[in-house]
Chain A
Amino acid sequence: MRIVKLNELRETHKIVLLLTLLVMWNFAFLVLDLFQSLWVGILLVDFVIIVFLLQQVSLLVPPQRMSTFEKAVAMGFPIILLGSWELLVRGGILHEEWFPPPTRIIVALWNLTVHYDEFTKTSLLGRFWLIPSIFPKEGWEGVKRLFLESHVNATVLRILAGFVCGSIPGLLVGVFMGMNRIVRTMLDPVISATYVVPKITILPLMMLIFDPFGETYQIVTVGIGVFFLVLINTMTGVRDIDPIFLEAARNYGANRLQLFRHVIIPGALPFIFAGLRLGLGVGLVLVIAIEFLRGVKGVGYITWYFWEIMVVENMYGGLIIIMVLGILTTLGLQRLERWVIPWQREEHVLPESLEG
């Protein structure tokens, strides 16, 4: 008992020591007025001290609280980052015009949300708070109009439409290529050759084929980007299925359709989802790139537009929204994956001792 206590005492000592070091280190440079010129180095050392500090703290955390501690660290660090950013700007160390502090970006986001641009007839989210007053007058038409004026909705619709248009054909062709050697041998060189082309390069071609002022060319471009990733991963997934499962299915009398439904598709699902995840990432890049180039509406468009007219905090606002869109779509796909592939959920495995 005594030894344990002594050890714990030492750990807490170390923590106090490190905390003091952290404060003194920063304070010293502040007093000497060297922060302005050396802040990158100072913050790097701060980071190292914080790592040591948290390591000491983690030794004191009881095992059953460990996951809570890790969550707190994971949530806490971004907050520290944002806090330092704010302080660096307030202290005049970072240029306020180019790196507006987080609080100003939040205000900018709020302004963007409530603002309606009379000239382009757009708003950030669509002014959904107007629905109660517009719906009695104009009905669903009015709600639709509000929905269509939204930058976020425009971008989300493009991502979703492109994603669906790309992943379904990718899935089908991938399965066929995975199952049939001749189809695979025929298509493989074509796929390999076109796969390496950065998908944004086909944008001019798509504008030739489709109306260059419509939505179709954008959705098709995004779809093609998604298509290749889903196709290649689906094909890999189908080929990765252990042949013993196909043998077992045949031995138990599965016909082609049953083989497809009970073995091939579920067996390839983990890879298919890997493809969908990658496809979603590429789809997002393509949508934003197209909106940069050609957009008159969309989050990419406003990000670009506010850079052009140098309203930097609004540009950051656009960036944040794109980030949030990325996070939400990825989370959504993760949810879908857990729902569709329940057998992959990590649950504890029975020990051999329960045998017999």
Chain B
Amino acid sequence: MALKIIAKNVTKIFPSPRGRVIAVKGFNIEVNDGEFLCIVGPSGCGKSTFLRILAGLVPPSSGEVRIIPGNKGESKPINNIIFQEYAIFPWKTVRDNVAFGLQMRGIPKNERDKITLEWIQRVGLSKFANSYPHQLSGGMKQRVSIARAFANDPEVLLMDEPLGALDAQTRAVLQEELIRIWEEDKKTVVYITHSIEEAVLLGDRIALMTAHPGTNKAFFDVDFQRPRDLKLTGTPRFAGLCYSIWELLQTEVKQAMEKQL
């Protein structure tokens, strides 16, 4: 299978008044085309920093990240992020928010409208196409953010704890929706989360990160068959895999907590 993302020895050091802070240290991943990779790690381990490096928003201090474009003929955007804070613009309607990436790329209005409306429908917000974000609930806002990313059709999708700010029930509903949408056209995804269950439910593979400074701890293959849904979470194999990941992760979590004290 073709490689889509290569990150080699990525290190990020932030200067701070109290000296240098190493956020990520020598982190490596390789993601195949069409693979859903979850990165799990204790809070403060540099997961989000790594994602921003991957997105090109922050340059790495050393190391290399590469996203390999697919067909040379079409010029897709390289990557788009779905943020935990939604980051949809309060001053734009749902429709204009979803169309944002397409508009920035100069896609003609007719085509833009067609794609936008299709994605608004796919995330179930047709009735709210002309609403402003302040009229929507948290779950609906994140759907707008998801539609905005998918509508822009990038080479890879980067998700930074997209469901982290939602309540448990809304999160469960959106997890299933995310699975459904993703399974329809299997885009390459790097998904950051601190929830092991979420990673096992969504991902094809899990990269475990150590406590601060973040580096590789282990990789897990998640070979449950697709299409998946929440029923999977009730199976013994699911629980078993979650627990074996937790066994490895807990030392890191404890270490992270001690550092905070």
Q: Which residues of A contact B (CB under 8 A)?
A: 242, 244-245, 247-255, 258, 262-263, 266-267, 269, 341-344, 347-352, 354-356
A255, A262, A355: which contacts B139 (Cβ < 8 A)?
A: A355
Tell me the bound Cα distance from A115 to B103 in angstroms: 60
Nearest-neighbour CB distance to chain A for B85, whole angstroms, equals 5
Of chain B, the residue at the smallest CB distance from A355 is B139
6 tightest A-B CB contacts, nearest first = A266-B91, A248-B87, A356-B173, A252-B101, A343-B132, A253-B104
Tell me the count of chain B residues lying within 8 A, CB to CB, of chain A: 35
Of chain B, the residue at the smallest CB distance from A351 is B137
Question: Beta-carbon contacts of B34-57 to A below 8 Å, as 1s and 0s?
Answer: 000000000000000000100101
Q: Which of B61-69, B73-81, B193-201, B202-210 lies at the binding interface?
A: B73-81
Within 8 A of A (CB), among B130-147: 132-140
B83 within 8 A of A: yes
Tell me the bound Cα distance from A255 to B106 in angstroms: 11
Q: A244-B87, A252-B152, A350-B140 are in contact. Are A262 and B100 (CB under 8 A)?
A: yes
Nearest-neighbour CB distance to chain B for A349, whole angstroms, equals 6
Interface core residue of A250, A253, A269, A354 (most chain B CB under 10 Å): A253
Q: A254-B104, A266-B91, A342-B132 are in contact. Are A244 and B137 (CB under 8 A)?
A: no
Tell me the bound Cα distance from A352 to B88 in angstroms: 19
Q: A248-B81, A251-B80 are in contact. Are A349 and B134 (CB under 8 A)?
A: yes
Q: A250-B57, A253-B77, A350-B135 are in contact. Are A258 and B87 (CB under 8 A)?
A: no
B182 within 8 A of A: no
Nearest-neighbour CB distance to chain A for B238, whole angstroms, equals 22
Interface core residue of A252, A267, A342, A352 (most chain B CB under 10 Å): A252
Q: Is the CB of B90 within 8 A of A253?
A: no
Nearest-neighbour CB distance to chain A for B179, whole angstroms, equals 14
Chain A residues whose CB sits within 8 angstroms of the CB of B137 once the complex forms:
349-352, 354-355
Nearest-neighbour CB distance to chain B for A278, whole angstroms, equals 22
